[in-house]
Chains A and B, each alone.
Chain A
Amino acid sequence: MLPHDDGSSPKTLPTEFASRDDLIAFCRSEFVESAGVDNHVSGTRGGLAAADERLQSIDPVAYGRTRNHYDGAVTRLSPYLRHGVISLAEARDQVRSLVGSPRQAEKLLQELAWRDYYRRVLDEIGTEVWEDIEPYKTGYDADDYASQLPEDFVAGETGNDFVDGTVHELYETGYLHNQGRMKIAAYVVHWRRVRWQAGAEWMLSHLLDGDVASNNLSWQWVASTFAAKPYIFNLENLLRWTGDRFTGRGPDGDSPFDASYDQLNDRLFV
């Protein structure tokens, strides 16, 4: 009987490659559907050696001061934590070993704790992590939100340089700074009025560190289904955290973010 690959019977895959390029070529031909979703390969390397390198480069004190800025001392540990290449306990121990007292690394330890928190929530709610934990606090019902992402957004062709730049960065690298994640989620849910699940699914499919706990619960936090109020931002805030990367405007110079928070609240919510 000839072996056939209808995807249903187990298939053994190689455990050695001559080079990264060979591995990539193999994956492109073996995982055709995944290449069809998006064909980019990230510059971020998998594996323990790369993870240890990241662990060695952490600066907990600088992290505490600069983590919100795109150019800040973020650790880039997330893909390795997500896949268990390093454990949260190992990361915690490494962070503590780098400071005289744990308080000096409080912000970083607290962010690691967020991951632990979200995983505990996931443990409790299971598949309901895809359901609205609470109603939206936007004045809208869940039914008022579109169920699909707009095509211009998915194509990274809205015309807004922040939105499109972020979408393309996600496709190309599989990573976004936390500020980028929060703001793109806010754009999707509050400016484009799309249900958070559509955005969460989309982001999860591209993130190297895609974790249904932190991803979905963070989208719910932005949406306000797991928070007291919705998260939004304005142009001033965007520029403060993203440095010189974006103007936050379209080609005509207009920006949907260029307003005060009061104005945005009036515009976006009921």
Chain B
Amino acid sequence: MSDTITWVHDEMLSPRWLKPEQPAIFVFDNEWIRQGRISLKRIVFMYECLLEMPGVSIARGKVAESVVAFAAKHGAERIETARSEDPRLKRQAADLDAVLLDPEPFVALPSDVDLKRFSRYWRKAERLVLAK
């Protein structure tokens, strides 16, 4: 019995996010699918990713409601998920009071790096990305 479950969202469709003995759930978000007019191709693609994630539960409905019900079913009080920059996923993680896990960054830059144009970001990032 784990006290933590993993909420797998659509930016985490890799078995590398799963932990042994920790239940995990992915929820096809009805609201996102409807509002985004998400076509069948994407659904199938995502589903195929999920089928290679052993042990993950798959549901559809409202994300927060489904994840909370899943956590309760497993007697878990803690919900983990990957940090995302996507406002939709940020909002849902906040609703769930989820603990955010950080993947390894592409490049380690200070949080105040100038983003007004790619060239300004690249001025800082290039050195690190192309380092030997």
| A interface residues, Cβ below 8 angstroms from B | 7-17, 20, 23-24, 27-28, 30-31, 33-35, 37-42, 44-51, 79, 82-89, 92, 101-103, 106, 109-110, 112-117, 119-124, 126-127, 129, 171, 173-174, 201, 204-208, 210, 212-213
Residues in chain A near residue B42, CB distance under 8 A:
34, 174, 206-208, 210
Which of A12, A20, A51, A212: most chain B CB closer than 10 A?
A12
Residues in chain A near residue B1, CB distance under 8 A:
none
| Contact call A103/B59, Cβ cutoff below 8 A | no
| Contact call B43/A15, Cβ cutoff below 8 A | no
Known: A10-B62, A92-B129, A120-B115. 13 other contacts (CB 8 A): A9-B65, A27-B43, A37-B37, A38-B41, A40-B39, A46-B44, A83-B45, A83-B46, A84-B82, A89-B103, A106-B130, A110-B122, A206-B42
| B interface residues, Cβ below 8 angstroms from A | 10-15, 17, 27-28, 30, 33-34, 36-52, 56-62, 65-66, 69-70, 82, 85-87, 90, 103-107, 113, 115, 118, 121-122, 125-126, 129-132
Distance between Cα atoms of A43 and B52 in the complex (Å): 17
Distance between Cα atoms of A40 and B44 in the complex (Å): 10
Which of B10, B48, B66, B130: most chain A CB closer than 10 A?
B48
Residue of B nearest to A32 (CB): B40
| Contact call B37/A83, Cβ cutoff below 8 A | no
CB < 8 Å neighbour of B39 from A14, A24, A174: A174
| Contact call A204/B36, Cβ cutoff below 8 A | yes
Chain A facing B: main interface SS: helix
Distance between Cα atoms of A131 and B42 in the complex (Å): 25
Q: In the complex where A47-B51, A117-B115 touch, is A27 in contact with B61 (Cβ < 8 A)?
A: no
| Contact call A46/B39, Cβ cutoff below 8 A | no
| Contact call B51/A12, Cβ cutoff below 8 A | no
| Contact call A46/B36, Cβ cutoff below 8 A | no
| Contact call B14/A102, Cβ cutoff below 8 A | no
Residues in chain B near residue A124, CB distance under 8 A:
115
